[in-house]
Amino acid sequence: MSDLLAARAQMGVSLAFHIVFAVIGIAMPLLMVVAEVRWLKSGDTVYLELARRWAKGTAVLFAVGAVSGTVLSFELGLLWPGFMELAGPIIGIPFSLEGFAFFIEAIFLGVYLYGWTRIPARAHVAAGVLVAVSGALSGIFVVIVNAWMNAPTGFTLVDSRIAAVDPLAAMANGAAFSQTLHMTLAAYAATGLAVAGIHAWSLRRDPMNAFHLKALKVALLVGAPAAILQPLSGDLAARQVARTQPAKFAAMEALFETTRGAPLTLGGWPDVDARETRFAVEIPRALSLLTLRDAGGEIVGLDQVPPENWPDVPAVHLSFQVMVALGGYLALVSAWALAVLARRRELAGRPRLLVALAVATPMGFIATEAGWIVTELGRQPWVIQGVLRTADAVTPMPGLVVPFAGFTLLYVFLGVVVLVILRRLVRHTPVILDEGR
């Protein structure tokens, strides 16, 4: 394994591990706040139990996310000094804002965890709201940095160095809104529906348990609307990619030739040597219609990009297909669940819906991982699109396969520890019968 590949692999593993905890850290505080508000309004102690349990889970996941996020910040400097030297004057501000939001989240999470009987109820809820808001802002500021890497702006290049930096213009780059919206909705959808899926499966085995029923409803309240809106934000993000990163977009769609009235490709395996996609289903003109709102519009293919600037087309295309397929499933199941709730029908009496929700449990996280694979691999060979190549940003230090192996083992260990702790947290479920049924 080359040092460049080892550095990319280590960063990829670190990001893949951290992003799960980042996503949960954005959405779980909202779940616990909604549960507490429902308890205060109804006096139902089931919601109090939910809020307390979800707060404990949030604390555990926040701690692991803080560790993995710290590792990532060191890896940026140690593995990618060329990137930090060039981009530091720009990404310093959003990273500083992310750190500020992180500290607010940590402080008020402590207040929330230890303030149940020590501060007034309204102050306690306010602390939870601050945790939820600061968690979301923390994620947004990080995604803004990634969006700038995809659509760099707010600077000029003088002798291959960044000058005349306008940090606000850089943060307001063309990809910022679509990426932050898409990622934030993904966090709420993935976490909300994962929690819903766990309780849906438990409710199917124990239909009279009010704990699982009410937990399922709160989780759907957070996750389902986000999952339904996610395809719309995905359309916005894809159209932005088509404008600013045509090579990435062509790889996503496995479009080798520039085409008017381009078809939408479903599935298939891109054969790079033959420059065709095998075993795919094509919908005529649909890609041009979705991207340009013109069925006869021209979509730029990979033939307009030098081959040395092509990303890994099969990996990008397949990851994109996985993301879209799973996101579509989550949106459909969410619409089904909300329709049942809107008609005031009992979820426990819908075994097929409960199974569909249970199946969806891991899908949001898989879709999120697939989406980040598209974002990062699709930008290659650039670390900053059109400005700095990945090979020019990596450290010259040799032997990078050693820290890659070490950190991979560390993440495996941390993952096992987290699973054991969470299993113990959810293992004991209070048997609370729904007397209103």
Would you state the structure tokens that stand for residue 87, as one six-digit string? Answer: 């981009």
Claim: this prediction has a pTM higher than 0.95: no
**Placement of tokens 């290659």 in the chain:** 380
Task: Determine the length of the chain.
Answer: 437
Backbone angles phi, psi at 381, to 5 degrees: -90, 20
Pairwise CA distance, residues 242 & 312, whole Å: 17
Under-50 pLDDT residues of the chain: 431, 433, 435-437
Interhelix angle 313-342/210-244, rounded to 10 degrees, is 140
Geometric angle at alpha carbon 333, from 330 and 336, rounded to 5°: 150
Give the pLDDT of residue 62: 87
Q: Which residues is 271 bridged to in the sheet? A: 276
Interhelix angle 121-150/176-205, rounded to 10 degrees, is 130
Pairwise CA distance, residues 227 & 333, whole Å: 9
Contact 143, 180 (CB under 8 A): yes
Give the pLDDT of residue 240: 95
Please state, as a whole number, how many other Cβ atoms lie within 10 Å of the Cβ of residue 218: 24
Pairwise CA distance, residues 220 & 334, whole Å: 8
Give the pLDDT of residue 430: 56
